Each structure stands twice: as C-alpha cells, then as structure tokens.
Structure 1
Amino acid sequence: MTAVPLPRASGRLDARTLRAAGVPAPARGHHRVRSVYAAAHVVPVAWGENVPGAPAEVDWEATLGFRRRVWSLGLGVAEAMDTAQRNMGLDYPATRLLVERSARAAAEYGRAHGVPVRDLIVSGVNTDQLPDAPVTLAEAVRAYREQLDHVESTGSGAVIMASRHVAAAARDAADYLKVYSEVLGAAREPVVLHWLGAAFDARLDGYFGSRDPYEAMDTVLAIIEEHPDRVAGIKLSLLDAEAETALRARLPRGVRMYTGDDYNYVDLVLGDGRHRSDALLGAFAAVAPLASAALSALEEGDAGGYRRILGPTEALSRHLFAPPTRYYKTGVAFLAWLNGHQPAWPMVGGLHSARSLPHLARALELADDCGALTAPELAAERWRALLRVHGVPAEGTGAEGGPR
C-alpha cells in the first residue's frame, strides 16, 4: 500500500493510502446475461500535434490494446461514440480509420474465441464529415447513409448517433421522422438508435423535436414502430432514470433499451422485475473489470453480489460525469493512464486540460474506494509525477497549500 497527496479546491493538501488491488475473477467467455458495450476512448500519440483544432494522431497500439482488454473481460466495445471524442477532437478521417481497425481487431478476436463480431463491436454513425455549418436535411441524410454504409462494410454493428446537423436543420418532429425513415431504409442490418441529451452536447437540445423528453419519446417510438425490422435497440443518454424506465416500458417487443445513464446504471441494468436495460456506457470503460465481475454474479443469479460489486462504482461515475458532463472523457482517459493502459496522459484536442487537479484527485480517491485501480503502485507513481509537473508537494500535509 502507498500514500499519495490529494490537492483540494480549497488549497488543502490531504494524504491517502491506496488500498491493495482486488483482482475480480476473469470472465468465463462473453457475457450473455445482458448485452453490454463499453464506450471506449482513443489514445493519442504522446508526441503528436494533438492540440485543439489539429487532426488527431492516434496511438493505434494502445487504442486497440484497450479494446482487446475490454473484449477479454467479456464485454463489447462501442466504437467511435462521443467517448471517443466525436465532435470534441477526433476528426472524421481518424474516425473512419478507428472503425476499420477496431472492426478488424474484433473480427480477429471473434474468430479466436467464437464470439460474433456484432457482439464485440458496434460503431457510431454520424454526419461529422460535413462542415460545422448549416446544411439541409437532405445533405444530412446523405452523410448519415455514407457513414452507415462504411460502418456496415467493416462488419461492425451500427449506432445511429444524434446529429448536430439534423438538430440545427429540423423544424419539428416530422422532420426527424423523415430523416430517420430515410436513414433506416438504407440499413442492411438492425441498428441501435442513440438519443444523446443536452447535458452531453448543448447543440442537441430539443432533439427529436421537443425539449420535453416525454414528447420527444413519442417521436422516437413512432420512428421505431415504423421500422420494426431495422431497429435493434435504443441507447438513452439523458441521465434521467424515470424517462428511461418510461420509454423502456413502451418499447416494442424485441427492441432493447441500452442505458446510457452513467448516474443510475446499477438499478437500470438490474431491472424492476418486468423490464431491464442492457448497457452502452462510457462509465464501463472506466470500471470494466468491475462491470465484468458484476455481470458474472448476475449470470449466477446473485443480484446481491452484483450490487456489492457494481454499486460502489456509481459514486465514481457520477463524479466523472459531473457538469460540464461533456468533459467526462477526461476522467475515463485519466483512469486508463493510471491503470497502465496507455503510456501517457495527453488526449486528442488537448482535452486532458478539461478537468482540474482537485477533480482528478477526487476521481483517484473514488476509484480507490470502489476498486477501480487495478495497479495501485503504478497509479501512485503516475499521480505523483503529474503533481510534480504542476508544482504540488510530494506529500499530503493536511494543511493549506500554496498560493491561491
């Protein structure tokens, strides 16, 4: 066990002794009790020009290595989603390569372990190859269909992400019905719809035609009911458990609810006795071994064990996804670095600067609380190195810190 300093927003510098890592039992194959995907981040080349506005330079070895680790835990990967910094540093040419390389790696893993590729990977379909400027709905549909064709050509499943271009151009619910009808009409296999709330991207406020989630829900259901053979599920990322349970209860038979609620996933995945959620979560990239162990408990009918393992991770997740929620990616990448899954801390677009040292200190503390630090000695070493760069004393004193 090792002690680390924890700088607080007040200027106080506390100390904490990290506990020894508990190693969850390895997954016995791919989890089947729920359909679960961890939305994965990208790792940049540490010495690359990964500054705001620059094309992303991706460390492919580390990026794909992280995905192979997720698969080895019995989870799927949600690729090229907002966790991978779509519209926040990851440009579209890099996104195309990311989907292609991840899908190829998933196919190799699937052949070696007898797991269908679509259980291992689904990939985001958006309109971000278009300029960040007003476009017509017809142009947005063409962009969607171009990306859908590309994703399906790789063998990956597809997730139709919420589009900033559609949000800007659509006048009402009827426009959303038209856009999604045309996009779903081009799908060769059933897809997952993605409803991303304004907490994650303010430019998606009022998506599906209303700021009232229950009115927008009617539009979503109309889209699904019009194309029952083209929609496998919907990922709901509103951070609103009541809205999720309401929509979940109304979904047609066979359409899955993939929770994107990084605040309330424990109860939503467990279910209420009548309905349950599957999962497509950025939080599960941060706590993948614990998510895997919790699912193993659930497979054995041990709901109490599931709660004991996964319940404590929600405090960490709520902190990582605290407002401004869109910066949660910083915490996901931070924990991956602490746990040794990437060689350096920087992120594409310079997004590692989006959270403060006190925020990261609290993330470290909460990760230790729930067992998400898989290599505490390495985490302590890397954390102290980061603090030295920022001029923070090497030891916590319990006293007020330096200049405020």
Structure 2
Amino acid sequence: MGSIATRSPFVPETLVRLAPIDGVRFATAEAGIRYRGRTDLMVAVLADGTTVAGVLTQSKTASAPVLACRKHLKKGTARLLIVNSGNANAFTGKRGREAVDLTVEAGAKAADCTRHDVFVASTGVIGEPLEAEKFAHLIDGLVKSAQPDAFEAAARAIMTTDTYPKLATRKALIGDVEVTINGFCKGAGMIAPDMATMLCFIFTDAAIAAEPLQALLDEHVETTFNAMTVDGDTSTSDTCLVFATGAARARGQEPVTKVGSKKLRAFSAALHDLMQDLAIQVAKDGEGLSKFVTFVVEGAESAAAARRIALSCANSPILKTAIAGEDPNWGRVVMAVGKSGEAADRDALSIWFGDHCVARDGERAADYSEPAVAAYMKNREIVIRINVGVGEASGHVWTCDLTHDYVSINADYRS
C-alpha cells in the first residue's frame, strides 16, 4: 500500500482518553493481513446479556461481513466483535462467505457463545480474498488476554488510511444513575455513508433493550453520519454497531425496554452528540484534506431536501477543488444547488461564505468584496451557507476540500 501523503491538519495534540466500560474488554494483534509492523486485528469481548443495534451500508455490493451482521442483528444480542483492517472481504464471493464463517466459528468457540452473538467487520482493499485461516487461530488468545482499558489500541487496529484514531466519550443519566458512552470509528476515504459510516463501534454500560437502542441509532444516524461525506463514494463495508452491556443495572439503573421511553431523553442527546463528534472527526481526516467545510442549507422544502442540496455541494469535485485553491467561486455553489434535483428558487437564492454575503436574491451581492472573501477562504475551517428560498426547512453536511494529495493517495492505494 502506498504511503499517506500528509497528516490531517486536524490531528489532535492529545487523544481523548476513554475510561473502561464495565462489560467490555479489547485485544489487538499484528496478523499481517496487509500491513507490516502495525496491528490489524481487533476483538471486543462483551459481557453476557449485552444488547446490540446496528446500521449497515445500503450498497448493492455489500461485503460478506455486512451481510453476516445484518443476519445476526435480528437476535439483538452480542458477545464478541471481531474486526480486521487491510482487506474489506468485499466482492469475494464464496471465499468471502467462508472467511466470515471461519472467523465467526472461531469467535463463538473462544467466547463460548452462539454464532449469532459474534459480529464481524472488515475494512481495506475490495476484491482480494481474505485468508481468515491466517488469523482465526489468534482469536482464542485475544479473547483470553483482552483488557478493559484498551480503547485507543482498538481504534488504531482498525485504521487504514486514517491519520489518527477517532475517539469520543459522553456521560448521561438514566433515572438517577450515570452511564458512560464510548465510541471510536475509522474512515478517511470512500466516505459517503448511506445508513451507516465506514466502521464505527459504540459501547455503553446502560441497560437498554435492543429495540429502543435500534430506534435511537436509526433516529440519530441521519443528522450525524449520513450528514458527512469526504468524496461521495459509499463503501461496501459501512458498519455502525452500538453495544449496551447492561452493567449499570448493578448500580440501580432500571432497564429500559420501550421505544420512545422518556427515561432515555438524556441518553439519546448524549448518543447523538457522540455520533456527531465522530462524524466530524472523520470529515476532518478526509484523505489529503487541507480544509474542513460545513455546508448549511436553509429555506428548503424539507430537512431531507436541505440535506440533499448540501450533499450536492459537498460532493462536487469542482466546488471542493475551488475551496482547496482558496477560490471564493460562488458560481460553483449555484451549479451544485441547481443539479441537486431539489426545489430552489433561482431568483431568491442567497449565499454566504462565513459572514460574507456573496450572492443575494439571485445575483451577486451589491456589497460583495472579493478581497475580503478571498481572505476568509484562507481559514482552515470554512462555512458556506445557502438559502434556496422555497420553504422553512434547513439541513447541514460536513465535508472537506479535494486536493492533489487525495489523488495521490488513491492512485497509489494498492501499490
């Protein structure tokens, strides 16, 4: 695999430390799946009674692990998560299914659980067979050696072209009992989630049944992971899983079993905040980026329409390259709005770059100042706001610019 051209300018000086969560342990290994001298295999061992919810890619060429997760989610319980990086096990036919079966079988034996309680995910190159026999024998030892204070190591083991591990943590009250939510994800390229994101794993000690947990995840994914894009390409492997160990029961938390329970209001807000944090971190680590960009669309017919218009802008190569070149070319915004397929009033369209109004009511703003806006475009973080003048709804999308380094990384990916 080719080297990464640059580190993201948003690499944090210090990583967030995630405290252990009762009922979760991690272990990693260097399995040599594709990389040398780094970990590429991770297991998360989950306490008996853990519930699970998930959202998965809607790609019609979904990977073998995605199909397995989709099947196992129907039971709603989990005891083990196994993730490899370097090989996506996608478009691998019968051999891909056999690799999943071998991995799941080894995991079920190691964790002493049913096959449906084992979840798998893979990320990396598409179309190359995953030789699970080269790492399946490691799973038993990893399950035995897993430790609770290893979130960062787990996050590093699932990275591909990421330049840093994405980590987030939140606290919330359910009743009068405090629970913790920890999460990590990977992703830097082939990012345009459709019902999920790259690989994302969230863990909590809350006692929540699978059905209400699934409802919360379904609700929040639209305004977090599905409101983020790097390059407009939806992965075959997008997987987001949330695991609730239920350990907070021992501290007096009454289990939540009903969808829409008022007891979950604070937890729901904290989960949404954590998912948003992780989504933004992915956009800030987009391959080769130099700028983080937020598109805000107002005056749309519906929230869904606003998001689609914002995605049309965020996925436009010609607009993203202008941002990379620090060119305040608002004509490319007009183009992207127009091609979205959503309602927009050309003669009411207004556009702002930061606080600078560049277009108002369908034409260049009278007080538009090219030098002032050009100076704004030198910022590392850019906000472009658009009012399409047909309604009251709004939406947002986070993305990054498109640079020469993105081309270099992806032209060199399998070298």
Determine if the TM-score, normalized by the shorter chain, exceeds 0.5: no
TM-score computed with the length of structure 2 as normaliser: 0.26
TM-score computed with the length of structure 1 as normaliser: 0.27
Structure with the largest fraction of helix: 1
- Relative contact order higher in (CA < 8 Å, ≥ 6 apart): 1
Larger radius of gyration: 2
Structure with the largest fraction of strand: 2
